[in-house]
Structure 1
Amino acid sequence: MSGQVAVSREGDGRFREFLSTETGGTAILLAATVAGLLWANLPGESYERFWHSELTLGFGGRTFGLPLRDWVNDGLMAVFFFVIGLEISREVKIGQLRDRRLVTVPAAAALGGMAVPALVYHAVNAGGPGAGGWGVPMASDTAFVLGLLTVVGTRCPGPLRAFLLTLAVVDDIGAILVIAVFYTERLSVPALLVAAGAFAVVVALRWARVWRTPAYVVLGTVLWAATLESGVHPTLAGIVLGVLVNVYVADDEKFLRAGEMVRALARDPSPELAVATAGSVRRTVSVNEWLQIRLGPWVSYLILPVFAIANAGVRLTGDVLREAATSPVTLGVAAGLVAGKFAGIALGTWIPLRLDWGDLPGGLVWGQLLGGAAVSGIGFTVALFVTDLAFAGSPELRSQAKIGIIAGSLLAAGLGWTVFRLAWNRGAVCAPPSRPAGPRRAPGPMPPVTAADHALGPAGAPVTLVEYGDYECPYCGRFHTEVLPALRERFGDRLRYVFRHFPLPEIHPNAFPAAVVAENAADGGRFWEMHDRLFADQLHLEVPALTRYARDMGFEPWERGNEHSERVTAQRRAGERAGVEGTPTFFVNGMRYEGSYDLAGLSGAVGLALERAAAEPGAALRDRCEPRREEDG
Structure 2
Amino acid sequence: MADGTAPERTLVERATPAGLRAYLSTESGSTSILLAATVAGLLWANSPWRDTYATFWDTELSVRLGPHALGLDLKHLVNDGLMALFFFVIGLEISREVQVGQLRDRRLVAVPALAALGGMLVPALLYALVNHGGAGVNGWGIPMASDTAFVLGLLAVLGTRCPEPLRAFLLTLSVVDDIGAILVVAVFYTEDFSLTALLIALALIGLIVASRWLRLWRTPAYVLLGLGVWGAMLESGVHPTLAGILLGALVTVYAPSDQRFLEAGELVRRLQRDPSPELAERTTRSVRDTVSVNERLQLRLHPWTSDVIVPIFALANAGVRLDGPTLRMAATSPITWGIVLALPLGKFLGVALGTWLPLRLNWGVLPGSLVWGQVLGGAAVSGIGFTVALFITELAFGDAPDLQAQAKIGILAGSLLAAAAGWLIFRLAWNRGEVCAPPGAMPADEEGFVPEPIPPVTADDHAHGPAAAPVTLVEYGDYECPYCGEAYRTLKALCDRYGDRIRLVWRHFPLHEVHPRAIAAAIVAEEAAQHGRFWEMHDTLFHNQLALTDGDLVRYARDLGIDDPWRHITENRRRIDADRASGERSGVHGTPTFFVNGRLYEGRNDLASLSAAVQAALDGAATADDRCATDGRAP
Is 2:317 the counterpart of 1:311? yes
**Which of 108, 118, 142 lines up with 1:112 in the alignment?**
118
Which residue identity does 2:469 align to in structure 1?
D
Q: Distance in 2 between matches of 1:276 and 1:594?
A: 43
Q: Distance in 2 between matches of 1:198 and 1:126?
A: 41
Q: Residue in 2 aligned with 1:90?
A: 96
Where do residues 19-30 of structure 1 align in structure 2 (5 Å cutoff)? 19-30=24-35
Q: Residue in 1 aligned with 2:304?
A: 298
**Which of 210, 213, 235 lines up with 2:241 in the alignment?**
235
Report the secondary structure of 1:359's partner residue: coil
Q: Residue in 1 aligned with 2:586?
A: none
Which residue identity does 1:17 align to in structure 2?
A
Is 2:441 the counterpart of 1:452? no
Which residue identity does 2:304 align to in structure 1?
W
Q: Residue in 2 aligned with 1:16?
A: 21
Report the secondary structure of 2:193's partner residue: coil
- Specify whether residues 340 and 277 from structure 1 end up closer, same or farther in structure 2 by C-alpha distance, changes over 3 A only: same
Report the secondary structure of 2:17's partner residue: helix
Is 2:341 the counterpart of 1:325? no
Report the secondary structure of 2:70's partner residue: strand
Task: Map Cα deviations across residues 375-409 of structure 1 (whole Å, 9 max, x no partner).
Answer: 00000110000000011121101000001101111
Contact kept in structure 1, 2:145 and 2:388, CA below 8 Å: yes
**Which of 44, 49, 60 lines up with 1:54 in the alignment?**
60
**Which of 208, 218, 226 lines up with 1:212 in the alignment?**
218
Is 2:475 the counterpart of 1:503? no
Q: CA deviation at 1:502?
A: 4.4
Contact kept in structure 2, 1:159 and 1:595, CA below 8 Å: no
Q: Residue in 2 aligned with 1:338?
A: 344
Task: Map Cα deviations across residues 416-468 of structure 1 (whole Å, 9 max, x no partner).
Answer: 1111111010000000112236999999989699973365xxxxxxxx98799
Where do residues 376-387 of structure 1 align in structure 2 (5 Å cutoff)? 376-387=382-393
Report the secondary structure of 1:301's partner residue: helix
Number of corresponding residues: 517
Contact kept in structure 1, 2:208 and 2:225, CA below 8 Å: yes
Is 2:594 the counterpart of 1:587? yes
Report the secondary structure of 1:434's partner residue: helix
Which residue identity does 2:91 align to in structure 1?
G
**Which of 388, 398, 419 lines up with 1:392 in the alignment?**
398
Q: Distance in 2 between matches of 1:83 and 1:58?
A: 29
Q: Distance in 1 between matches of 2:490 and 2:223?
A: 48
Q: Distance in 2 between matches of 1:317 and 1:360?
A: 46
Contact kept in structure 2, 1:258 and 1:280, CA below 8 Å: yes
What CA RMSD, in Å, does the superposition of the two structures yield over aligned residues? 4.1
Q: Structure 1: 5+ residue runs without aligned partners? A: 1-7, 456-463, 469-474, 480-498, 505-510, 528-569, 607-622
Contact kept in structure 2, 1:450 and 1:625, CA below 8 Å: no
Report the secondary structure of 2:285's partner residue: helix
Q: Distance in 2 between matches of 1:274 and 1:420?
A: 52
Where do residues 242-321 of structure 1 align in structure 2 (5 Å cutoff)? 242-321=248-327
- Specify whether residues 433 and 274 from structure 1 end up closer, same or farther in structure 2 by C-alpha distance, changes over 3 A only: same
Contact kept in structure 1, 2:603 and 2:610, CA below 8 Å: no
Contact kept in structure 1, 2:475 and 2:595, CA below 8 Å: no
- Specify whether residues 28 and 586 from structure 1 end up closer, same or farther in structure 2 by C-alpha distance, changes over 3 A only: same
Q: CA deviation at 1:113?
A: 0.2
Q: Residue in 2 aligned with 1:428?
A: 434
Q: Residue in 2 aligned with 1:147?
A: 153
Q: CA deviation at 1:326?
A: 1.7
- Specify whether residues 265 and 181 from structure 1 end up closer, same or farther in structure 2 by C-alpha distance, changes over 3 A only: same
**Which of 9, 29, 41 lines up with 2:46 in the alignment?**
41
Q: CA deviation at 1:59?
A: 2.6
Report the secondary structure of 1:358's partner residue: coil
Q: Distance in 2 between matches of 1:82 and 1:132?
A: 26
Task: Map Cα deviations across residues 61-110 of structure 1 (whole Å, 9 max, x no partner).
Answer: 43211111000000000001111111111111111001110000000000
Contact kept in structure 1, 2:34 and 2:311, CA below 8 Å: yes
Task: Map Cα deviations across residues 155-190 of structure 1 (whole Å, 9 max, x no partner).
Answer: 111100110010000000000010011111221122
Q: CA deviation at 1:277?
A: 1.7
Q: Distance in 2 between matches of 1:9 and 1:466?
A: 51
- Specify whether residues 197 and 41 from structure 1 end up closer, same or farther in structure 2 by C-alpha distance, changes over 3 A only: same
- Specify whether residues 585 and 75 from structure 1 end up closer, same or farther in structure 2 by C-alpha distance, changes over 3 A only: same
Q: Residue in 2 aligned with 1:402?
A: 408
Which residue identity does 2:384 align to in structure 1?
I
Q: CA deviation at 1:336?
A: 0.5
Contact kept in structure 2, 1:81 and 1:238, CA below 8 Å: yes
Q: Distance in 2 between matches of 1:51 and 1:107?
A: 37
- Specify whether residues 501 and 9 from structure 1 end up closer, same or farther in structure 2 by C-alpha distance, changes over 3 A only: closer
Which residue identity does 1:503 align to in structure 2?
K
Which residue identity does 1:65 align to in structure 2?
G
Q: Residue in 2 aligned with 1:353?
A: 359
Contact kept in structure 2, 1:502 and 1:572, CA below 8 Å: no
Task: Map Cα deviations across residues 172-221 of structure 1 (whole Å, 9 max, x no partner).
Answer: 00000100111112211221121121111111112212221111111111
- Specify whether residues 34 and 153 from structure 1 end up closer, same or farther in structure 2 by C-alpha distance, changes over 3 A only: same
Report the secondary structure of 2:215's partner residue: coil
Contact kept in structure 2, 1:140 and 1:382, CA below 8 Å: yes
Q: Distance in 1 between matches of 2:544 and 2:190?
A: 47
Q: Distance in 2 between matches of 1:182 and 1:282?
A: 41
Q: Distance in 2 between matches of 1:232 and 1:216?
A: 21
Q: Residue in 1 aligned with 2:371?
A: 365
Report the secondary structure of 1:65's partner residue: strand
Q: Distance in 2 between matches of 1:30 and 1:465?
A: 49
Contact kept in structure 2, 1:361 and 1:595, CA below 8 Å: no
Q: Distance in 2 between matches of 1:442 and 1:34?
A: 59
Which residue identity does 2:594 align to in structure 1?
F
Which residue identity does 2:205 align to in structure 1?
F
Q: Distance in 1 between matches of 2:15 and 2:73?
A: 42
Report the secondary structure of 1:106's partner residue: helix
Q: Distance in 2 between matches of 1:395 and 1:346?
A: 34
Where do residues 124-163 of structure 1 align in structure 2 (5 Å cutoff)? 124-163=130-169
Contact kept in structure 2, 1:81 and 1:239, CA below 8 Å: yes
Q: Distance in 1 between matches of 2:490 and 2:392?
A: 53
Q: Distance in 1 between matches of 2:607 and 2:338?
A: 40
Q: Distance in 2 between matches of 1:627 and 1:448?
A: 25
* Identical positions, percent: 61
Report the secondary structure of 1:24's partner residue: helix
Q: Structure 2: 5+ residue runs without aligned partners? A: 1-12, 445-450, 477-482, 503-531, 546-590, 614-618, 627-635
Q: CA deviation at 1:58?
A: 2.1
Report the secondary structure of 1:45's partner residue: helix
Where do residues 540-551 of structure 1 align in structure 2 (5 Å cutoff)? none
Is 2:209 the counterpart of 1:203? yes
Contact kept in structure 2, 1:454 and 1:500, CA below 8 Å: no
Task: Map Cα deviations across residues 260-293 of structure 1 (whole Å, 9 max, x no partner).
Answer: 2223334444444332221111111111111111
Q: CA deviation at 1:519?
A: 3.9
Q: Residue in 2 aligned with 1:551?
A: none
Deviates more, 1:201-210 or 1:360-369: 201-210
Contact kept in structure 2, 1:453 and 1:500, CA below 8 Å: no
Report the secondary structure of 2:203's partner residue: helix
